Structure 1
Amino acid sequence: MYLKSIKFVFVLFVVFLSSFLCTSQNIKKLLKKGSIEDKVFKSTFKYEPYGNAIFVKVLIKGKTYRLLFDTGAVTAVSPRMVEELNLEIVGKEEVYDLGNTSKNLNFVKMDTINLNGINFFDTGAAVLDIEAVKDFKCTGIDGFLGANFMRNAVWEVDMVKHEITFTNTIDAISIPEDTPHAKIFIGYDGTPAITAYLGNEKLYSTMIDYGYGGGISLFSYDFKKLREENADIKYVKSNGGSTVAGVYGDIKTSTTYKAIVDSFKTGDFKVPSTLMSFGQFGSRTIGAGFLKNYRVVLSWKDRKAWFIENKIADDQIIFSGHGYGIRLENESVFISSISENSEAEEKGLKINDKILSVNDVDFAKVTDQKWCEILSTNRPDKVKLVIQRDTKQLTVTLEKKVLLSN
């Protein structure tokens, strides 16, 4: 299944990085403990693309598992993997997702993980019931290959060729002269973050996150400050908020914005004009939807990220749509957000309208499998919605329109 839905963004932050959280020393040691084969190596392999997500295969105790490549999280495995591999629970920790929803999770240690012939040792992992989250279940993945696993090597990610290269030394990677780079700051769990600027505003702890399928996502108050600097900035406001997949279920945000921004930079890397999102998530994030335009090199040892232009970005930025978001609740689909000046707003759709059908496709009872099919299907330019509002049934036809362009 090739997932194209905007809703399906891998927004998994298994450990919230703020230093004030009471993280046990045992878990901190576990997440820092891993190591790699003591030899000179350079390994390149093709990964499985899935929208903007990266799936890789690893070998553990002779069994092959399919994991999400996720620099924005610690490594995580499913309870099924724990049972199959007979892994011992070595500790518990309170962890958080983007909605700041917390839960105590078990942690395990895997003696050896083999990636493309190279062995990684003593990797700590959270035990996460991935199938309990509908959107993650759609992918059929077994877990997450996280930043604590990656911190012991240098990584080059090429989303144009669908290739990953990893090596024990930065000297093995070809980086052109004058390639822009930024200093990265490493959380105790290995997650890499940068300090950035949005206009004149300094932004700390902006995560480089290949586990998030969107582009650059910042806080709502970052957008407020940006507008104070530039009142003429073009943007679209969505009321009610979008719905995204978190560790413990869907996260409902309130008001979100999309804007065309040309004043974002980190280190000596000035980002070209790009479409950015602003909401109320638990972290600032640079996701795979933006990183795919670059051959990115990450070195935990050198504490640097290089951004090698890999794809000439289109000067024309166009954001179009029908102007509504959806959520699944108790096998029913509801309107979760409405964008201002969209067809959805103009035709009178309201948040919490229940969708009974779309283009004569029945939405009356949406199973997990049907939800996966909905997420994997692009909306056509014209949609006919039959909705229920209180005791009334209404039919609304919407045309896709340009909501934002430069």
Structure 2
Amino acid sequence: MKRLLLLFFLISPLLSWSKGISQADVVESNFSDTTVYEREHELFFVYVTINGKQFKFLFDTGAITVLKSSTAKSVGLRANDTIEVTDGNNESKKMGIIKPLDTLKVGNTTFANNWSVVWDDSSFIFDCLGIDGILGANVINACNWQFVPGEESNKLVLTDKLNNLEHRKGARKLKIKLSDSQGTPYVKVKKPKGLFMFDTGFNGSVKLNKESLGMMDYFEMLKDSVYRVGSAYQNLFGEEYHDTSVISLMDIEFRQWFVKNEAQAITTFGTGNRPMIGTYWIGDGVFTYAPKRERIWIEGKPLNQLTTLKGVGISTRSEDEKFIVTTLIKNSPADEAGIKIGDEIVTLNTIELDHNCSNYENLQRTLENGRSVMLGIKRGTELIDVTLENTQYISP
């Protein structure tokens, strides 16, 4: 199981959006600019220059632009207003905002009239991804972007003209609808029916909420899949609905894009108000994002998340400064040992786990690759010690 599978639970709830965000403009016209990008954990990272200094940003169509507070300080910027921000779990708070941000550049492309939220350095996402900020939809939508993977380096093309970009025969074309004041892209999905955010800051496959699930028989089809369904399924239509259950989705049907059994995909459930489609559907081929034409082209096949299963059979997410079990695979060592979704991991190989990125990554790496893993589990007031052997296994 790939490490990126273990990370997407961390990232998706942290990406913020807001109403009333101004849209950026590109200064140049009739342009085609080529620069580089990085691809890590199935996410896209671009290099942004502000006031002559270069920074690494997450390319995130599901967020507004965000500066880490130390990044803003290093270029002499600070918040000059506040704005109400809502995250992926539908929780709101006021945050500082810079409006407008000084001229921002990606490669030689200049963006003006940029608004940016200022976020505290202690945020888990900055630490774990090693980024200085997030390039959000309010800036991204000012031009077209094409990501071309390469053996030695990855090429990023920015342009205002689609005819400056190449599309290989057979590329999937997906129609999007830009919604919200920040221009978040949505796609219309037939089954389960609804509008799904196309979120390049979510390195998973699909995130559903109970409003987006549609008919109960669809759930019945999914509940016996590879991933054990926990309390979120059992309490789906009750008050105790939690973002703690993962299932397997064999195929998903879009209005203009049909993917059937090309890849098995992980689906997570959340309490937020927006179901999402993440970067697993982009795969490892050329990806073109053309917001002005409200189109996406995808040339790679969706990644298969459920290949040979190995490890102890669980992954975790950072939640309320705790490491919580969010994935439990049937027949895995963790399943056989009685670990449950929602358990808190408090020790790893007898060492207490402080809540920081280094411990989080070490925990994920050990769960996947450690030969023998000793975990201290907290379940309510009960403390449980378990030892798990890392093996390959078959899950139904």
Please indicate the TM-score interval, normalised by the length of the shorter structure. 0.7 to 0.9
**Which residue of 1 is the match for residue 104 of structure 2?**
113
Give the Å deviation of 1:74: 1.0
- Report if the CA contact (8 A) 1:263-1:273 is conserved: no
Q: Among 14, 17, 40, which residue is 2:16 paired with?
A: 14
Q: How many residues align?
A: 374
Amino acid aligned to 1:71: T
Unmatched 5+ residue regions in structure 2? 233-240
**Which residue of 1 is the match for residue 160 of structure 2?**
168
**Which residue of 2 is the match for residue 374 of structure 1?**
362
Give the Å deviation of 1:170: 0.5
**Which residue of 2 is the match for residue 39 of structure 1?**
29
Q: Among 176, 198, 206, which residue is 1:184 paired with?
A: 176
Q: Among 116, 119, 125, which residue is 1:128 paired with?
A: 119
| Mapped pair 1:324 → 2:320 | no
Give the Å deviation of 1:270: 3.5
Structure 1 pair 178–366 and aligned structure 2 pair: CA distance change class (3 A): closer
| Partners of 1:376 and 1:323 in 2: CA distance | 11
Amino acid aligned to 1:75: T
| Partners of 1:226 and 1:319 in 2: CA distance | 29
- Report if the CA contact (8 A) 2:80-2:97 is conserved: yes
Structure 1 pair 88–100 and aligned structure 2 pair: CA distance change class (3 A): same
| Partners of 1:84 and 1:276 in 2: CA distance | 39
Structure 1 pair 114–267 and aligned structure 2 pair: CA distance change class (3 A): same
Q: What is the correspondence of 1:345-384 to structure 2 with a 5 Å cutoff?
A: 345-350=335-340, 351-352=342-343, 354-358=345-349, 362-366=350-354, 368=356, 370-374=358-362, 377=365, 379-380=368-369, 382-384=371-373
| Partners of 1:353 and 1:268 in 2: CA distance | 39
**Which residue of 1 is the match for residue 72 of structure 2?**
82
Q: What is the correspondence of 1:302-321 to structure 2 with a 5 Å cutoff?
A: 302-308=293-299, 310=300, 317-318=307-308, 321=311
Deviates most, 94-103 or 142-151: 94-103
Amino acid aligned to 2:291: W
Give the Å deviation of 1:398: 3.6
Q: Secondary structure at the match of 1:149?
A: helix
Structure 1 pair 3–380 and aligned structure 2 pair: CA distance change class (3 A): closer
- Report if the CA contact (8 A) 2:48-2:107 is conserved: yes
Q: Which TM-score applies when normalising by structure 1?
A: 0.79
Q: Deviations over 1:114-157 (max 9, x none)?
A: 1111211111111111x322343133311101111111111112
| Mapped pair 1:298 → 2:286 | no
**Which residue of 1 is the match for residue 249 of structure 2?**
260
- Report if the CA contact (8 A) 2:353-2:359 is conserved: no
Give the Å deviation of 1:193: 1.2
Q: Secondary structure at the match of 2:277?
A: strand
Amino acid aligned to 1:256: S
Q: Deviations over 1:189-213 (max 9, x none)?
A: 0221111122xx4221x12221112
| Mapped pair 1:237 → 2:228 | yes
- Report if the CA contact (8 A) 2:174-2:297 is conserved: yes
Q: Secondary structure at the match of 2:74?
A: helix
| Partners of 1:43 and 1:267 in 2: CA distance | 30
Q: Among 92, 101, 105, which residue is 2:82 paired with?
A: 92
Give the Å deviation of 1:163: 2.9
Q: Which TM-score applies when normalising by structure 2?
A: 0.81
Amino acid aligned to 1:301: K
Deviates most, 133-142 or 92-101: 133-142
Deviates most, 2-11 or 103-112: 2-11
Amino acid aligned to 2:282: L
**Which residue of 2 is the match for residue 245 of structure 1?**
none
Amino acid aligned to 2:365: T
| Partners of 1:225 and 1:280 in 2: CA distance | 17
| Partners of 2:347 and 2:129 in 1: CA distance | 25
Q: Secondary structure at the match of 1:349?
A: coil
| Mapped pair 1:57 → 2:47 | yes
Give the Å deviation of 1:240: 5.7
**Which residue of 2 is the match for residue 249 of structure 1?**
none
Give the Å deviation of 1:277: 0.5
Structure 1 pair 321–225 and aligned structure 2 pair: CA distance change class (3 A): farther
Amino acid aligned to 1:104: K
Q: Deviations over 1:251-299 (max 9, x none)?
A: x944423213224224244453431303024222221232134422221
Amino acid aligned to 2:112: F
Deviates most, 335-344 or 102-111: 335-344
Structure 1 pair 311–184 and aligned structure 2 pair: CA distance change class (3 A): closer
- Report if the CA contact (8 A) 2:249-2:267 is conserved: no
- Report if the CA contact (8 A) 2:177-2:185 is conserved: yes
Deviates most, 72-81 or 388-397: 388-397
- Report if the CA contact (8 A) 1:237-1:255 is conserved: no
Give the Å deviation of 1:49: 2.6
Q: Among 329, 332, 339, which residue is 1:342 paired with?
A: 332
Give the % identical residues: 20
- Report if the CA contact (8 A) 1:239-1:340 is conserved: no
Structure 1 pair 318–196 and aligned structure 2 pair: CA distance change class (3 A): farther
Amino acid aligned to 1:212: F
